[in-house]
A and B are shown apart, each in its own frame.
Chain A
């Protein structure tokens, strides 16, 4: 079965500290993976996708097929990074980004 697991409900770090939000997936094929972010009182928005291999707001994520992981990392957390982060898997190979399976989310809190 296709599944996305985010083991941490809450992650609290101090400003300037490194942060890693964990995501593991289960998928019987070649996955397309994404990270979405939801800031307080804002809508869910795409942060980055694995196929783009890009860095957005200092965040990066590398797909590790051997460990079936797609952890989100940032070397120096900022207070404005505080938000809810969701890892998501595209339901069908080559499918639209909208047709997604989401994890339960991790709330990141960056303290001053």
Chain B
């Protein structure tokens, strides 16, 4: 593909609902990152994968957040029992390997009502 693809672009969830956000990285990219960007803020790191291994999940705000990348390609960020404070744009980025440029997706805008 031309770049990192995220779906859906927009998601409205009722409070308490579970959501799943998908990221298709650039083919062959080893590293994959998730960020959360609240309104008026810069992106904040959530978690990092190298292939299928989740090497850093220190940024996940609570145990309601879960990310996976089972085959080392597509990744899913799942949020259980969504709350209003989860409303944000969720960005995915991938890079060929460590120490190389990371490319960002368009993001998924999640609104919890």
Chain A interface (Cβ < 8 Å from any Cβ of B): 4, 6, 43-46, 86, 88, 91, 94-105
Which B residues fall within an 8 A CB radius of A?
3-4, 31-33, 35, 40-45, 48, 56, 91, 93-95, 97-107
Q: Which of chain B's residues have a CB closer than 8 A to the CB of A45?
A: 103-104
Q: Find chain A residues with CB under 8 A from B31 CB.
A: 96, 98
**Distance A101 CA – B33 CA, assembled complex (angstroms):** 12
Q: Return A87 CB to nearest CB of chain B, in Å.
A: 8
Question: What residues of B have a CB within 8 angstroms of the CB of A98 in the complex?
Answer: 31-33, 48, 93-95, 102
A45-B104, A97-B95, A98-B95 are known contacts. Are A91 and B40 too (CB-CB below 8 A)? no
Q: Contact between B43 and A46 (Cβ–Cβ < 8 Å)? A: no
A43 near B107 with CB under 8 A, answer: yes
* Subset of 28 A-B contacts with CB under 8 Å: A4-B42, A43-B3, A43-B105, A43-B107, A46-B101, A86-B43, A88-B42, A94-B99, A95-B99, A96-B31, A96-B33, A96-B97, A96-B99, A97-B101, A98-B31, A98-B32, A98-B33, A98-B48, A98-B93, A99-B48, A100-B45, A100-B102, A101-B45, A102-B43, A102-B44, A103-B42, A104-B42, A105-B41
Shortest B113–chain A CB gap in Å is 24
**Which of A43, A88, A91, A97 is within 8 Å of B100, CB to CB?**
A97
A-B pairs with the 3 shortest C-beta distances? A102-B42, A98-B102, A98-B33
B-side contacts of A105, CB under 8 Å:
41-42
Q: Are B99 and A99 in contact (CB under 8 A)?
A: no
State in angstroms the CA–CA spacing of A96 and B102 once bound together. Answer: 8
Residues of chain B contacted by A6 (CB below 8 angstroms): 42
A102 to chain B: which residues have CB within 8 Å? Answer: 35, 42-44
B32 cross-chain contacts in A, Cβ below 8 A: 98
Tell me, in angstroms, the Cα distance from A4 to B94 when the chains sit together. Answer: 22
Q: What B residues does A95 contact at CB under 8 A?
A: 98-99
Contacts of B106 in A (CB 8 A): 43
